[in-house]
Amino acid sequence: MANLFLGEAPTPDHFLAVGLGFIGILIVARPDIDNINSAILAAMGCAICFAGSLIATKKLTSDQSISCILSWLKVMQLFNGGITVFLTRGITIPKMLISYG
């Protein structure tokens, strides 16, 4: 993505890192065309969105202040969190976070 959006030239180290990361995903997910489920698709979507967030942040650092970047990241997180709460129909607090005092 950095090559496409930032004009950075890819190096052999970059290709190695991407390849090792992809192999790691295959080891953890053990994808089978018959067993693709929403969790695997969500993990792939998260990885793509996280990469997009990093690219956007790197692009913004060339002409924006840190305060501006942090503000926009918080707005994006609020928006994405709201979508998640809507799609899952609420928030569940894990039992171990509830204190019995």
pLDDT attached to residue 12: 92
Contact indicator for 29, 46 with CB cutoff of 8 Å:
no
Task: Give per-residue pLDDT as tens, 8-59.
Answer: 888 899 889 888 988 887 787 777 777 777 777 777 788 888 888 888 888 8
CA torsion 92-96-100-101 (nearest 10°) is -110
Give the DSSP H or E segment for 94: none
Tell me the helices (H) and strands (E) count for the chain, helix number first. 4, 0
pLDDT attached to residue 101: 53
CA torsion 90-81-83-48 (nearest 10°) is -130
